[in-house]
């Protein structure tokens, strides 16, 4: 038995398999990515807490002797165990390594892959269908997010999808999740109209939705130039044509709002629908110009969905 395995046994450390499972759960709870394991990193402590490790287990270190260089390297046994577990998940292609992830997110993180995500949902007894609503990042989706966020902004943008790729393929599903994530991040999880920002009590689910300007039903593209982050009420009101946008991103409200019965469209004392008709109301936009909706998509919405 190696010096390391003997120490692991003597100290009654969790098994590598148990740590692998704890890592997958932790990845899930941290939206799909966790930082490299370094001293003082929150994640290292969090997982140790989950296992209820005592001080000795947390601080035991292993000495590796490099005879040639005549030096001794000390490393925490717990960090090594975490690293070995993550390394084994990476070999199984259930997570991406920090050296890979940094190319996508500029952060040294371990990130779930789609396979790792599936495995984690299984582990947590969450149906796979939930993938469409959970905001968990995966390496594959993140790649598309990067592509979507960095796409060129052509003068003559076509907001319609090429017919051939519309069928629901695995790739289309990933793209749909990437669209949703890229839009929500670009708008900082706030409704572009009212600024509402709220998540579920477990902090996993955001209320905000990624709205298509040219909808899927009209073959609209899943990309940032055809998207807008809206709360559920404003998403609905936009989709049914109660309001649209001018080219300068001012809100243009339907004239029919003033014909609504007095008790319609109000939240207690707040005139939800009337608010839309206020003059010079402009939506909040992503800071980066290239991530703002494209005029061609807005124009289509104005001409085809909006009710004057």
For residue 233, what are the contacts with CB-CB under 8 A and spacing of at least 6? 272
Q: CB pairs under 8 A, 24+ apart, for 214-219? A: 214/159, 214/160, 214/297, 214/300, 214/301, 215/239, 215/305, 218/160, 218/300, 218/304, 219/160, 219/161, 219/163, 219/166
Of the candidates 286, 292, 291, 296, the one whose C-alpha atom is nearest the C-alpha of residue 160 is 296
Please state the closest distance from residue 273 (CB atom) to Zn ion, in A.
12
- Counting contacts by CB under 5 A, is residue 234 touching Zn ion? yes
Please state the closest distance from residue 206 (CB atom) to Zn ion, in A.
13
Report yes or no: 214 and 221 within 8 Å, Cβ to Cβ. Answer: yes
Please state the closest distance from residue 231 (CB atom) to Zn ion, in A.
3
Of the candidates 236, 280, 278, the one whose C-alpha atom is nearest the C-alpha of residue 257 is 278
Could you tell me the sign of the dihedral formed by the alpha carbons of 235, 272, 306, 159, in that order?
A: negative
Cβ closer to Zn ion: 28 or 187?
A: 187
Binding test (CB under 5 A) with Zn ion, winner from 186, 193, 210, 276: 193
Q: Which stretch binds Zn ion (CB under 5 A): 42-50, 153-161, 188-196, 263-271?
A: 188-196
Q: Which stretch binds Zn ion (CB under 5 A): 66-74, 167-175, 183-191, 280-288?
A: 183-191
Please state the closest distance from residue 232 (CB atom) to Zn ion, in A.
8
Q: Which stretch binds Zn ion (CB under 5 A): 12-20, 43-51, 112-120, 196-204?
A: 196-204
Q: Which stretch binds Zn ion (CB under 5 A): 54-62, 121-129, 229-237, 259-267?
A: 229-237
Write the CA distances from 155 to 159, 162, 163, 286, 294, integer angstroms. Answer: 12, 18, 22, 19, 9
Binding test (CB under 5 A) with Zn ion, winner from 194, 204, 218, 281: 194
Please state the closest distance from residue 272 (CB atom) to Zn ion, in A.
9
Number of residues that bind Zn ion (CB under 5 A): 6
- Counting contacts by CB under 5 A, is residue 190 touching Zn ion? no
Please state the closest distance from residue 235 (CB atom) to Zn ion, in A.
8
Binding test (CB under 5 A) with Zn ion, winner from 191, 224, 245, 298: 191
Element (H, E) at 221: none
Please state the closest distance from residue 196 (CB atom) to Zn ion, in A.
5
- Counting contacts by CB under 5 A, is residue 281 touching Zn ion? no
Please state the closest distance from residue 208 (CB atom) to Zn ion, in A.
9
Coil, strand or helix at 13:
coil
Q: Which stretch binds Zn ion (CB under 5 A): 83-91, 174-182, 226-234, 294-302?
A: 226-234
Q: Following DSSP, what letter does each residue of 17-48 receive, concatenated?
A: HHHHHHHHHHHHHTTTEEE---TT-HHHHHHH
Cβ closer to Zn ion: 145 or 283?
A: 283
Binding test (CB under 5 A) with Zn ion, winner from 13, 231, 297, 305: 231
Burial group, residue 189, by CB count within 10 angstroms (0-12, 13-18, 19+): middle
- Radius of gyration, alpha carbons of the chain: 25
Q: Which residues of this chain interact with Zn ion, rule CB under 5 A? A: 191, 193-194, 196, 231, 234
């Amino acid at each position: 038995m190696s010096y390391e395995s003997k120490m692991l046994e003597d100290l009654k450390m969790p098994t590598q398999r148990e740590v692998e499972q704890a890592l997958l759960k932790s990845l899930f709870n941290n939206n799909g990515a966790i930082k490299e394991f370094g001293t003082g990193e929150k994640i290292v402590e969090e997982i140790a807490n989950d296992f209820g490790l005592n001080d000795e287990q947390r601080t035991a270190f292993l000495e590796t002797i490099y005879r040639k260089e005549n030096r001794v390297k000390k490393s925490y046994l717990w960090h090594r165990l975490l690293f070995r577990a993550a390394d084994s998940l990476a070999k199984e292609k259930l997570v991406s390594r920090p050296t890979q992830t940094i190319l996508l997110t500029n952060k040294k993180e371990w990130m779930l892959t789609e396979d790792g995500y599936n495995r984690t949902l299984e582990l947590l007894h969450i149906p796979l269908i939930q993938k469409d609503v959970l905001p968990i990042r995966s390496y594959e989706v993140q790649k598309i997010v990067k592509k979507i966020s960095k796409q060129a902004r052509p003068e003559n943008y076509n907001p319609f999808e090429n017919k051939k790729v519309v069928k629901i393929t695995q790739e289309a599903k990933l793209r749909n999740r990437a669209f949703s994530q890229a839009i929500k991040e670009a708008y900082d999880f706030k409704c572009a109209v009212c600024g509402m920002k709220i998540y579920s009590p477990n902090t996993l689910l955001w209320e905000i939705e990624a709205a298509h300007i040219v909808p899927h039903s009209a073959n609209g593209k899943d990309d940032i130039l055809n998207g807008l982050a809206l709360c559920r009420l404003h998403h609905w009101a936009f989709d049914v044509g109660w309001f649209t946008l001018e080219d300068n991103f001012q809100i243009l409200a339907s004239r029919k709002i003033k014909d609504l019965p007095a008790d319609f469209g109000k939240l207690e004392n707040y005139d939800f629908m009337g608010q839309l008709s206020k003059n010079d109301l402009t939506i909040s936009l992503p800071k980066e110009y290239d991530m703002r909706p494209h005029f061609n998509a807005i124009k289509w919405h104005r001409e085809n969905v909006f009710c004057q």
